[in-house]
Amino acid sequence: MATQRQQKLIVLLLALLCIVLPIHARSASNTPHLADPFADPKHDPYNPLKYIASNTLTAIAFTLVMVVALTQSYWTYRFGAKWMLSMVIGEYTFALGIGTRFGLHYHPDSEPIYIIEYLFVVLSPCAFIAANYVLLGRMARHTGCSKHLLIPANRITKIFVASDVTTFLIQAAGGGLLVSTNPSTALTGSHIFLAGLVLQLVSFFSFSCLFCFYIYRVYTSEPEVWTRDTKGVAKKPWFRDWRTLAGALGLSCIGILIRSVYRVAELSQGFQGYLATTEAFFYGLDTLPLFIAISVYVPFWPAFFIPPVQRTEVEVSKEAERDSTEGV
């Protein structure tokens, strides 16, 4: 499907970052560094963080994200919902970005390590966002209430995932320029990166409003659908009620929105701003909201609520024909 190809593109781009960044990341100056980079990190011109990264906090964050990634990998293998795979792979690259902070602890003035850490941490959530886009379309079709979406269910995923890919590419392009040793080029890269973050925030906020409107319309116009998992022969426990999955998606959206606002504000201040140089903000407004956004799907994995779609041979044939036509 076209949407699956878009998700694969995000995953491919994240994989390319794994290969390209270690090759191209380099120090912006050949001037000798301070003899003791731990003496006064706040005023060390070579320390991009302006603090010494805490190994304890890094270990906690890395472990938690990896636990989520490994658990969801098993859920995907055991129960399905491969259409959430972009989130799972994004969790591994996000954990990789956090893990590089161990290197920053011991080498606080290493610009190559900082560049790798920053781009992986900032770009990986694009994969989380893409998974949420796919989930809303699947949920609307599962409840049979696609008509209450402002955008048709078969288009909503394609439109927003395409937007996610575009903003990812903009951020990646800006990140590539940030590596430049030319201050003017690096500044341009910073502006491009910020533009990508702003566009991503606008896109995801629009999606969140769309999701809220959909839930409101189902609640007010489809009382039978709204309560269908709570009564009758098909009654389900609350943790298998489709509204619980909707709540999980809503919580995930809130976490991502908090993180997105933080990143826009951070880059607006510049890399030497108060937000960028305070470790508490990194964990409190970036890592924690994102952890909530992904960990909420551990107990409420979409496959627990949405069964696999059984397609007829005719539908499979038509889909293959449509994909081959789109590829021309």
* Domains in the chain with CATH codes: 2-26+43-308 (1.20.1070)
**What average pLDDT is seen over the chain?**
85
12-21, 49-58, 169-178: which has the minimum mean pLDDT? Answer: 12-21
Q: What is the pLDDT of residues 143-197, one digit of tens each?
A: 999 999 999 887 888 888 888 888 888 888 887 777 666 778 878 888 998 999 9
pLDDT of residue 9: 56
The whole model's pTM is what?
0.86
Tell which wins on pLDDT, 296 or 170: 296
pLDDT of residue 271: 83
Q: What is the pLDDT of residues 54-92, one digit of tens each?
A: 999 999 999 999 999 999 999 999 999 999 999 999 999
pLDDT of residue 17: 55
In this structure, how many other beta carbons lie within 10 angstroms of the beta carbon of residue 310?
6
**Average pLDDT, stretch 2-28?**
52
- Measured between alpha carbons, how far is 259 from 252 in angstroms, rounded to an integer? 11
Q: What is the pLDDT of residues 200-257, one digit of tens each?
A: 999 999 999 999 999 999 999 999 999 999 887 778 999 999 999 999 999 999 999 9
Q: Where do we find the tokens 């880059």?
A: 267
13, pLDDT greater than 80: no
Percent of residues, the chain, with pLDDT higher than 90: 61
5, pLDDT greater than 90: no
In angstroms, how far is the first alpha carbon of the chain from the final one?
14
Across 8-17, 115-124, 207-216, which has the greatest mean pLDDT? 207-216
pLDDT of residue 36: 78
